[in-house]
Amino acid sequence: MARASFSSCGYKSLNSMADNEEPMIIDKYLTNQSPLFRKLKSWQWWVLVVVNIFFLIAGQAAAVILGRYYYDQGGNSKWLATLVQTAAFPILYIPLFLLPASQEVSSSSRYPSFVTLALVYLVLGAILAGDNMLYSVGLLYLSASTYSLICASQLAFNAVFSYFINSQKFTALILNSVVILSLSAALIAVNEGSEGPSKVSKWKYILGFISTVGASAIYSLLLSLMQLSFQKVLKRQSFGVVLDMQIYTSFVATCICIVGLFASGEWRTLSGEMQGFGKGKVSYVMVIVWTAVSWQVCSVGVVGLIYVVSSLFSNVISTSSLAITPVVSVIVFHDKVNGVKVIAMLMAIWGFASYIYQNYLDDYRSRKSRYDGETRNDP
């Protein structure tokens, strides 16, 4: 039922623009955002997509590198590393206030109640806080390059969650992508040559691996739940809705992290941590601040692509950006890159390419079907 209505809505959007040849992601992903697509011109939609892609890639690469740098220079607070991933959410009020009120468009005559909205934000915010903590643990015990390669499993998890939650297609090529990415992560797990950034013990390395895989799975679930919330609960078509989602879920996650920081007693060690930071106090503050800003820039890109395109496309771009981080980490941190890690990286690229090729096939079939229909209707 959901898949049928999803598809028919998309073809209505496309048929109303017979003169424009749009990219493959429109045919498959813009179906549930067709009011937004009809409202924007083609170049405006492309600008919005490109800007969100840039935010996601630049923000994620910078945040991971700065997070690893924090640990390398003597930082050790997992709760602080988790807190900075959402603490800078107030800066998102700036674009929220700059958006004209006239851009708010509703696909439903009724808005969700306050209780419903609060429940959605609370649940998603709690999931986000737990996910960020797992990422912090993973980055503590893994090198930046290993961490990024394992995070490539996000695409595999999200393909599964999108199939069950968002009724996305699950073809042979998608299955191939899932298997290849899973094997790539497995190679990293069994690679005896892999080690943590500070020669951590084997068990801490395993803990870091499990935490990162678990975080990737939860993150993928979060993306699908966000898309479901946009479709079934919020039912409003503006970028302000995207910012609301990011602001309120980040607020909930930040509150949880602050409670955790004080309840765990880690707040007592922060002063000494800043005093002993390798590059000095100013560098410590700058790393914390810019890590927080980078995560929010990344989050805007993630949620923006969910809204404009879909959760699966958002995770594809997020996964592709992970290819940048291992290269940067090798340059910045001189991470070891052995043969197994190179093979794992190539397999991750193979899995990503397999998924992209499936998109190409879907686009080709959709265009051919539309062209045949227009030919039959042309006298």
Q: What is the pLDDT of residues 328-339, one digit of tens each?
A: 777 777 767 777
Angle, helices 172-190 vs 154-165, to 10°: value is: 140
Query: Could you read off the pLDDT of 288-327 as tens digits, one per residue?
Result: 999 999 988 887 787 777 667 765 576 667 766 766 777 7
Work out the average pLDDT over 213-236: 86
Region label for 173, one of left (φ > 0), alpha (ψ between -120 and 50) or beta (otherwise): alpha
**CB-CB contact of 69 with 286 (8 Å):** no
Q: What is the DSSP string of 96-123?
A: HHHS-GGG--BSSSSPPPHHHHHHHHHH
Secondary structure of residue 337 in the 3-state scheme? coil
| CA 359 – CA 115 distance, rounded (Å) | 39
State residue 10's pLDDT score: 30
pLDDT band at 147 (very low <50, low <70, confident <90, very high): confident
What's this model's pTM, rounded to 2 decimal places?
0.75
Q: Find the mean pLDDT for residues 346-351.
A: 80
Secondary structure class of 178 (helix, strand, coil): helix
pLDDT band of residue 15 (cuts 50, 70, 90) is very low
**Gyration radius of the chain's alpha carbons:** 21
Which sequence spans correspond to the domains of the chain?
Answer: 65-99+112-365
Q: Kindly state the average pLDDT of the residues 270-297.
A: 92
What is the per-residue pLDDT for 66? Answer: 93
> How far, in Å, CA of 183 to CA of 202, rounded?
20
Contacts of 343 (CB under 8 A, 6+ apart): 187
C-alpha 114/C-alpha 315 separation (Å) is: 29
Distance CA 345, CA 324 (A): 11
Q: Determine which helix (DSSP H) or strand (DSSP E) holds 52, and give its type and residue range.
A: helix 42-72
The string of pLDDT tens digits covering residues 87-111 is 999 988 877 776 555 444 444 556 7
Q: What is the pLDDT of residues 239-257, one digit of tens each?
A: 677 778 889 999 999 999 9
CA distance 1 to 58: 38
The whole-angstrom separation of Cα 71 and Cα 61 is 16
